[in-house]
Amino acid sequence: MKKFNILALLVFVAGLVGVFTFDTAITRQIQSRVLSLLSPFIHSSAAMQNAAESLTEPQVNAAEVMRERDELRVQVERGRIVQQKYNQIIEENAKLRQIVGFQQAAPFKMTAAKVIRRRSSAFWNSLIIDKGSLDGIGTDSPVITSVGLVGKTSILAPRMTEVILLTDEMCRVSAKVEGTLEQGILAGERAALEVRPELHLRFLSRNANINAGASIYSSGEGGIFPPDLLLGRVKRFENREISGEAIVEPAVDFSSLDHVFVIEMQAVVPAPEPPATTKP
């Protein structure tokens, strides 16, 4: 082997050692920079894909579009009324909580985002949405749809975020079974590359009375996901060596996701102390 090659090998190994010593913050920063550098290409590919899909779609009927628009207007109006009632109830609830001295639940903000890319890696179940750190999105924030939990945010770019799907082994959720006291950890399968893979709810009691079809919700105990998000429904229950395990069908159809919402938990502002009453 030439001396120059040996020198090159030594430099390569030194560089490799340097890379392996990167901590989490640096790694995240590098991944974020690379994602933001490639974001124009990801946006362009999404635009091309949309254009190709629109070419293959059947011609849109103008009358049908008008009818759909009218229906949507009615739905928006209904939504506004429900929103007003909801705000009133929230306000009332906050007042009542203050009166009884109950700790206020953390409020959250929802950011609507469009799915622009599905799956781009070898073994991971992920997608990319069109909102990023400039839109106030943070890492490890829950991503939901009206149906249930989709996953959590991972790598952030200014105008783009990668989402790890619930079906991935790396996305784990503390979960509870509806109608029982059973709690466990829900996770996807390793390299589950099917369109709608199964999820596994582990660490349940052996011989737990869990029926097929029971809904699985997040318990809110794990620190990331808020409670009562629908995760899926039990397909079957199996007894393992130490604990029980439920096989769960995800609530969300991940192959047809177009729009999602990112939940950002906001810091709780402590309620002002009531003025001390003075004795006459």
Partner 1 sequence: MLFHPISIILLLLTFMVQEFIPGLEIAQYATLFLPAVFFFCASVAAPFSMMLVLAFITGFLWDARHLQGVTESMAGVEDWFGTGEDSELGAGRHSLPFGLSIVLFGMLGSLMQGIRPLFKRGRLELPVLMVGVATFLWLLTQFFIITFLRGALHFPSGLWSKMITDTLLAMLASPLIFLLLYSLARVSSYEIKYDGLRYRFDGR
Quick check: 192 binds partner 1 (CB under 8 A)? yes
**Residue 113 class from Cβ within 10 Å (0-12 exposed, 13-18 middle, 19+ buried)?**
buried
Binding mask 57-96 for partner 1 (x = CB under 8 A): ----------------------------------------
CA distances from 43 to 97, 114, 119, 208, 231 (A): 46, 11, 14, 48, 29
Among 62, 195, 267, 269, binds partner 1 (CB under 8 A): 195
Distance CA 220, CA 209 (A): 22
Query: If you write DSSP's letter for every residue of 16-74 in order, what string do you get?
Result: HHHHHT--HHHHHHHHHHHHHHHHHHHHHHHHHHHHHHHHHSPPPPHHHHHHHHHHHHH
The least CB distance from residue 177 to partner 1, in Å, is 14
Helix (H, G, I), strand (E, B) or coil at 90: helix
Q: What residues between 96 and 135 interact with partner 1 by CB under 8 A?
A: 117-124, 126
Among 81, 191, 212, 271, binds partner 1 (CB under 8 A): 191
Quick check: 172 binds partner 1 (CB under 8 A)? yes
Check if the beta carbon of residue 32 is closer than 8 Å to that of residue 157: yes
Q: What residues between 18 and 37 interact with partner 1 by CB under 8 A?
A: 19-20, 22, 24, 27-28, 30-31, 33-35
Check if the beta carbon of residue 195 is closer than 8 Å to that of residue 157: no
Quick check: 239 binds partner 1 (CB under 8 A)? no
- The greatest distance separating any two alpha carbons of the chain, rounded to the nearest whole angstrom, comes to 97
Among 36, 133, 139, 145, binds partner 1 (CB under 8 A): 139
The least CB distance from residue 118 to partner 1, in Å, is 8
The least CB distance from residue 159 to partner 1, in Å, is 15
State which residue, 7 or 147, has the beta carbon closest to partner 1: 7
State which residue, 124 or 261, has the beta carbon closest to partner 1: 124
Quick check: 187 binds partner 1 (CB under 8 A)? yes
Check if the beta carbon of residue 217 is closer than 8 Å to that of residue 247: no
Among 143, 164, 246, 263, binds partner 1 (CB under 8 A): 164
Among 189, 205, 227, 264, binds partner 1 (CB under 8 A): 189
Q: Give the pair of three-digit tokens for residue 162.
A: 């990668």
Distance CA 145, CA 251 (A): 10
* Number of residues counted as binding partner 1 (CB under 8 A): 68
Helix (H, G, I), strand (E, B) or coil at 223: coil
- Between β-strands 108-118 and 126-129, what pairing exists: parallel, antiparallel or unpaired? antiparallel
State the amino acid at position 9 in one-letter form.
Answer: L
Beta partners for 238?
245
Binding site for partner 1 (CB under 8 A): 1-2, 4-5, 7-9, 11-12, 15-16, 19-20, 22, 24, 27-28, 30-31, 33-35, 38, 41-42, 44-45, 48-49, 117-124, 126, 139-140, 154-155, 162, 164, 168-174, 183-185, 187, 189-195, 203, 221-225
